[in-house]
């Protein structure tokens, strides 16, 4: 039995379908399982990764876990998983752990703590480290639909937007092919592109006029204050500043694992065009 955590997420949704299509036994875990719509025959279970009271039931009969975890109760989860007989965990981490001083980067620190806890455990661990998810562009959906300008503190900052389907297919590969077990894979999109270029491609695909407004760090933080805690906002701003005008490194890991190149950003926009065009 394969337990997939974070059942409401896009990666988990696609991964569940892929494993189900293979005929593999899958259980989908979520802190709020009501309303999940997995493929027919796939059971769901309540699994809040900050609440160990549900760990034993979720892990019963499980041999493999796809895990997207916070660091809060990771040791408890590992202990329960080991006692349950889990032999392999595939961790969805972040390439932020590979940056400078990850222990003091609030975006990277939690991922790094989970990685370290798993690597110190007796359970074989495979780590996927995606870069920037293309889905981050959803943050622009509301102002685009409202006809408002997008506030950009670093319009020339590069990122490597990766489609959630590529992450799911990479996870499927490492879950089902023993050759990849125990590996470390940094996943990127196929190109390093700036925010300005992403917005141009959004406008082209959606057919909408998209305007931007160059703002200061402080102005952007103030706009985002209700949505992003200050220390996370600072970490994002620092990352963007470090990559302003500087392409990010790319890998071929998606193609090596899945057999096809990573999907371009325009494909992600096409797949999610309703997010930017439907009221």
Predicted confidence at residue 106, as pLDDT, reads: 85
Map out the domains of the chain with their CATH numbers: 2-130 (3.40.50.720), 133-162+189-248+264-279 (3.40.50.720)
Angle between helices 217-224 and 230-242 (to 10 degrees): 140
Q: What is the pLDDT of residues 22-70, one digit of tens each?
A: 999 999 999 898 888 899 999 999 999 999 999 999 999 999 999 997 8
Q: What is the pLDDT of residues 136-155, one digit of tens each?
A: 999 999 999 888 999 999 99
pTM of the model: 0.94
Q: What is the pLDDT of residues 165-185, one digit of tens each?
A: 999 999 999 999 999 999 999
87 vs 82: CA distance, rounded Å: 7
198 vs 258: CA distance, rounded Å: 25
Predicted confidence at residue 100, as pLDDT, reads: 85
User: Distance between the two ends of the chain, CA-based, in angstroms?
Assistant: 40
Is 71's pLDDT higher than 90? no
The percent of residues in the chain predicted with pLDDT above 90, rounded, is: 85
Predicted confidence at residue 72, as pLDDT, reads: 87
The percent of residues in the chain predicted with pLDDT above 70, rounded, is: 100
Where do runs of H (alpha helix) occur along the chain? 10-21, 55-59, 74-84, 106-119, 141-146, 164-176, 195-206, 217-224, 230-242, 253-258, 265-271, 273-277
Q: What is the pLDDT of residues 90-118, one digit of tens each?
A: 999 999 999 888 888 888 999 999 999 99
Predicted confidence at residue 107, as pLDDT, reads: 85
24 near 3, Cβ under 8 Å? Answer: no
**H/E stretch holding 157:** none
Is 279's pLDDT higher than 80? no
* Token digits of residue 203: 């406008």
Predicted confidence at residue 69, as pLDDT, reads: 78
Is 190's pLDDT higher than 90? yes
């Amino acid at each position: 039995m394969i337990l997939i955590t974070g059942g409401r997420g896009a990666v988990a949704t696609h991964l569940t379908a892929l494993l189900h299509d293979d005929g593999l036994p899958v259980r989908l875990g979520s802190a709020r399982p009501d309303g999940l719509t997995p493929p027919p025959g796939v059971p769901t279970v309540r699994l809040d990764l900050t609440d160990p009271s549900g760990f034993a039931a979720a892990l019963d009969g499980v041999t493999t876990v796809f895990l997207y975890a916070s660091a809060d109760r990771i040791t408890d989860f590992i202990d329960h998983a080991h006692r349950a007989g889990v032999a392999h965990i595939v961790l969805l981490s972040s390439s932020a752990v590979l940056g400078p001083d990850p222990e003091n980067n609030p975006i990277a620190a939690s991922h790094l703590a989970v990685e370290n806890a798993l690597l110190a455990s007796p359970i074989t661990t495979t780590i996927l480290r995606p870069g920037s998810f293309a889905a981050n562009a959803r943050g622009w959906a509301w102002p685009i639909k409202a006809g408002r300008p997008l506030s950009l503190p670093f319009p020339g900052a590069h990122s490597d937007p990766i489609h959630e389907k590529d992450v799911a297919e990479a996870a499927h590969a490492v879950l089902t092919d023993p050759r990849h077990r125990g590996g470390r894979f940094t996943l990127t999109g196929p190109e390093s592109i700036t925010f300005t270029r992403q917005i141009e491609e959004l406008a082209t695909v959606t057919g909408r006029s998209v305007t931007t407004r160059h703002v200061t760090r402080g102005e952007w933080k103030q706009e985002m204050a209700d949505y992003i805690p200050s220390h996370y906002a600072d970490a994002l701003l620092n990352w963007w500043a470090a990559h302003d005008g500087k392409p990010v490194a790319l890998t071929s890991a998606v193609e090596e694992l899945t057999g096809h190149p990573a999907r371009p950003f325009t494909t992600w926009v096409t797949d999610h065009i309703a997010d930017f065009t439907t009221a």
